[in-house]
């Protein structure tokens, strides 16, 4: 079972995750795209990537904006290394 990270571990990891924040026991980031089609394409790519990682984000979409929240249910809804790893992979998609 994944172990929750401490606040200092999360803060340290966020130094390498531009645009991500830690709020309410989740890693969070918003992406804005030119239109709905680009946002939807990004969501699909995130979904495929998440499936490869065996870890699934909470996604929220309104028109051209996609909000992502990551935490690990198996760790009591806390942030674990799985979340850090998936955030880093998602960041590569959105850059």
Domain limits, the chain: 7-94
The CATH code for residues 7-94 is: 3.30.1360.20
- pTM across the whole model: 0.94
Asked if 17 and 10 touch (Cβ cutoff 8 Å), the reply is no
Per-residue pLDDT in tens (0 to 9) along the chain, 95 residues: 889 999 999 999 999 999 999 999 999 999 999 999 999 999 999 999 999 999 999 999 999 999 999 999 999 999 999 999 999 999 998 65
Non-local CB neighbours of 54 within 8 Å, separated by 6+ positions: none
């Amino acid at each position: 079972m994944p172990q929750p990270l401490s606040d200092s571990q999360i803060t340290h990891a966020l130094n390498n995750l531009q645009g991500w924040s830690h709020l309410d026991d989740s890693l969070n980031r918003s992406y804005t795209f030119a239109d709905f089609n680009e946002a939807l394409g990004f969501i699909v790519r995130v979904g495929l990537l998440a499936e490869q990682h065996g870890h699934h984000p909470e996604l929220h979409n309104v028109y051209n904006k996609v909000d992502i929240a990551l935490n690990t249910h198996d760790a009591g809804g806390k942030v674990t290394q799985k979340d850090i790893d998936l955030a880093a992979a998602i960041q590569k998609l959105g850059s």
